[in-house]
């Protein structure tokens, strides 16, 4: 349980690093005239992702969840792959990546890295991690609860992204 708790703490530190990058990139985007879409859902997203990490640790400790090697090790591999994909997204988008939905007028949608293959590769990483990270130590309730809540949140968020991208396409057709 201690090793799992340290893994979750390491994940939390990684999230803080993401937030630093995201804030810097969001500020840059705004300085370029970027317009944010769906800002109202953002606090819910932060709360869900923070609560997810807390829930993983709490479930393991409070409900004495066992580490099952046949499940834990493959889920660890999935969680690591999700991190690799997430950072591939961050690096591929560069300054354009952040945790908010911001469109900069006159910029084209980027199609490098994993975005050549998928419209929302970062969400693939989030969904995979949402299942894998808790199941590393048999935290089934956290995996199911996060997955359901995250699906609802992604439905809202992707709607804002579609709206933002439609504006971007409209701006492209004007120029």
pTM (two decimals): 0.90
The pLDDT of residue 173 is: 43
88-98: burial string, b at 16+ Cβ within 10 Å, e else: bbbebbeebbb
Q: How far apart are CA 112 and CA 90, in angstroms?
A: 11
Q: What is the pLDDT along the chain (175 residues), one digit of tens a residue?
A: 999 999 999 999 999 999 999 999 999 999 999 999 999 999 999 999 999 999 999 999 999 999 999 999 999 999 999 999 999 999 999 999 999 999 888 887 788 999 999 988 999 999 999 999 999 999 999 999 999 999 999 999 999 988 887 876 665 443 4
The pLDDT of residue 86 is: 96
Q: How far apart are CA 169 and CA 137, in angstroms?
A: 44
**Two tokens, residue 66:** 């066992």
CATH of the domain at 74: 1.20.120.1630
Quote the number of domains for the chain.
1
Domain around 82: 2-174
123-135: burial string, b at 16+ Cβ within 10 Å, e else: bbbbbbbbbbbbb
């Amino acid at each position: 349980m201690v090793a799992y708790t340290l893994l979750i703490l390491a994940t939390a530190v990684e999230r803080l690093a993401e937030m630093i990058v995201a804030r810097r990139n969001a500020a840059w985007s705004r300085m370029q005239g970027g317009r944010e879409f769906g800002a109202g859902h953002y606090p819910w997203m932060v709360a869900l992702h923070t609560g997810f990490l807390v829930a993983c640790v709490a479930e393991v400790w409070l409900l004495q969840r066992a580490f099952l090697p046949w499940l834990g090790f493959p889920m660890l591999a999935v969680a690591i792959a999700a991190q690799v994909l997430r950072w591939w997204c961050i690096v591929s988008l560069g300054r354009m990546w952040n945790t908010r939905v911001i469109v900069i007028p006159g910029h084209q949608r980027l199609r490098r890295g994993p975005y050549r293959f998928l419209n929302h590769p970062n969400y693939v990483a989030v969904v995979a991690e949402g299942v894998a990270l808790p199941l590393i130590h048999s935290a089934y309730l956290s995996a199911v609860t996060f997955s359901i809540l995250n699906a609802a949140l992604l439905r809202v968020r992707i709607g804002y992204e579609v709206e933002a991208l439609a504006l971007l396409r409209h701006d492209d057709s004007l120029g």
